[in-house]
Structure 1
Amino acid sequence: MAWINILIFVSIGIVIGSCIARLTMRNNAQQKNLKKELKQSRYELEQYRQKFSDHFTQSAELLDNISRDYTKLYQRMAITSEELIPHLPEQDNPFVKRISELSDMTTGSEENTTQGPPRDYSDQATGLLKDATKTNKGD
């Protein structure tokens, strides 16, 4: 009788074990699928980020080229407007400001680039420091 009970319990254990194994294997398969999808999504996201970064890099280069070309065009228009219409009044010439900048650059004048003290600079001490220096000299 003991053998029959052992055999019954073992068969019941095998059935329960196989049911649990099937349930957990489904979860493992789902986990594997989810991990695979996650890796795929991360890879696609990284590709998207790289394309996005490349796009902005190329856009920045293009904008830089446009800026340089615009500056060259503006300089050319300023120079040619001065050459072709030399007696045009300043208020009628849209390139007056640029012409004066270009003439300063071409003549090499460094009047504006000299370094000196700011206009509001004072050689004498003022305020609290002035009073402190007087009291220290008197001591």
Structure 2
Amino acid sequence: MIWLVGILSIVVGFLAGWYFSRSTNEGSGKASVEKALEATQFELEQYKQEVSDHFAATAELLEQANDNYRKLCGQLTESAHALLDEKSRAELPELEALEQQNKALTAEDDEEWQQPRDYSGSPSGLISGTEKDKQKEPVS
């Protein structure tokens, strides 16, 4: 009988230890998962910021390149007018294309930029009006 009590107490002790160790490991598992999640979210935010900075710098560089291109076209046009006579200018079709491009670039600078509309001027499609409007349309 003493052996039975001893064996039962060992089994109960083993089960209690196994349950206790399992419950504490799950808590540490949750903590490690939460730490990993926080670290991943922080890395994602850093990556988003880096991408945003990259696109801002790229936009700035493109604007500078665009300004330099406009200046180059203007310089070439002015130099051609100053250095070439009428006959030489007439023989160069590239010069005329460059002048037109320069005019277009300066016209773009002068125009006020507007964001495009997301809709057309008049309704169209299947839901273009009421039944009365549809009845008034002549059938051809």
Range of TM-score over shorter length: 0.5 to 0.7
Q: Please list the CA deviations of residues 35-92 of structure 1 after superposition, one character each: whole Å capped at 9, or x if unmatched.
A: 2222222111111111110000000000000000000000000001110233587xx9
Q: Please list the CA deviations of residues 78-111 of structure 1 after superposition, one character each: whole Å capped at 9, or x if unmatched.
A: 001110233587xx99xx8xx95x975x54626x
Greater RCO structure (CA 8 Å; 6+ sep): 2
How far is 1:119 from its partner?
3.1
State the identity %.
Answer: 6
The counterpart of 1:129, out of the listed 122, 128, 132, is 132
Partner of 1:24: 12
The counterpart of 1:68, out of the listed 46, 51, 56, is 56
The counterpart of 2:68, out of the listed 76, 80, 84, is 80
Aligned-partner SS, 1:85: helix
Q: TM-score, normalised by structure 1?
A: 0.60
Bigger-Rg structure (1/2): 1
Distance 1:74 1:65 in 2: 14
Partner of 2:121: 119
Q: TM-score, normalised by structure 2?
A: 0.59
Partner of 2:86: none
Alignment of 1:2-13 (within 5 A): 12=1
Partner of 1:46: 34
| RMSD between superposed Cα atoms in Å | 3.8
**Gap runs ≥5 in structure 1:** 1-11, 134-139
User: Aligned letter for 1:120?
Assistant: S
